[in-house]
Amino acid sequence: MDIKTLCLGILSLGDATGYEIKKMVAEGSLSFFSEASYGSIYPALGKLMEQNLVTCVAMVQDKRPDKKVYSLTETGREELTRSLRKDPDPDKNRSEFLATILFCESVAPERVTALIQDRIIEHEDKIATLEGLLAGEMTPASRFVVEYGIATQKAALKFLQTHQGNLVGTAAKGAANKLKEVGTPAAE
């Protein structure tokens, strides 16, 4: 989903500024399955304006740039509906963590253990954040999405907690040897 459609979607939930859109993507219900930087949001809103898919009211603030509140137009809502009619692309999950684990023969075993420990904490934090969101007012749709996030995060957490030993016991030995070779090239 490109940033323009994402903005259209977020605006369909309520008027917002570019700054607020960024916050929703970074910390709100969308935070665990989408991303966007200012450098993509502001130009996207500009193009959406040109196409008359959104309108914008500038709120003058002194000592600060005008706050521009964007709203979806009727045409914008229709465009969004059209976009959402297309079958969604399959999910794209990129995980450097899992890649590192997979290539762990090139990584010190203590490092693998530490990585998993860190990851466990990150999952716990993420779950806490998502559960915090549930405390606020939510539409059924955003509740569904956040609870989906919690469910998958919890599954990942549980997996790491119960399987972390699987790597250290067996692969790590081989890794330790490999590492010795790489770590002391002078010995060759």
Partner DNA sequence: GTGTACATGTAAAGTGTTACATGATTTC
Partner DNA sequence: GAAATCATGTAACACTTTACATGTACAC
Binding residues (CB under 7 A) for DNA: these are 2-4, 17-20, 23, 35-40, 42-46, 61, 63-68
Q: What residues from 6 to 35 belong to the interface with a second copy (CB under 8 A)?
A: 6, 9, 12-13, 29-30, 32-35
Note whether 81 binds a second copy by CB under 8 A: yes
Q: Contact with a second copy (CB under 8 A): which of 64, 166, 184, 187?
A: 166
Q: CA-CA distance, 179 to 184, in Å (whole number)? A: 8
Q: Does 115 bind a second copy (CB under 8 A)?
A: yes
Name the region of 82 (left: φ>0; alpha: ψ -120 to 50; beta: rest). Answer: alpha
Query: What is the helix (H) or strand (E) element at residue 64, kind and residue range?
Result: none
Instruction: Specify the amino acid at residue 54.
Output: V
Could you tell me which of 48, 38, 39 has the C-alpha nearest to residue 9? 48
Asked whether position 137 contacts a second copy by CB under 8 A, the answer is no
The 10 Å CB-count burial string (b at 16+, else e) for 125-152 is ebbebbeebeeeeeeeebeebbeebbee
Which does residue 40 touch among a second copy, DNA, none (CB within 5 to 8 A, set by kind)? DNA
Sign of CA dihedral 156, 161, 164, 166: negative
Cα–Cα dist 41/20, whole Å = 10
Nearer CB in complex with a second copy: 61/166: 166
- Residue range at the interface with a second copy (CB under 8 A); choices 15-23, 42-50, 55-63, 168-176: 168-176
Q: Smallest distance, Å, CB 47 to a second copy? A: 19
Pairing of strands 54-59, 67-72: antiparallel
Residue 73 interacts with a second copy (CB under 8 A)? no
Chain residues that interact with a second copy, rule: CB under 8 A = 1, 6, 9, 12-13, 29-30, 32-35, 74, 77-78, 80-81, 84-85, 87-107, 111, 115, 118, 122, 139-145, 147-148, 151-152, 154-156, 158-160, 163, 166-167, 169-171, 179, 182, 185
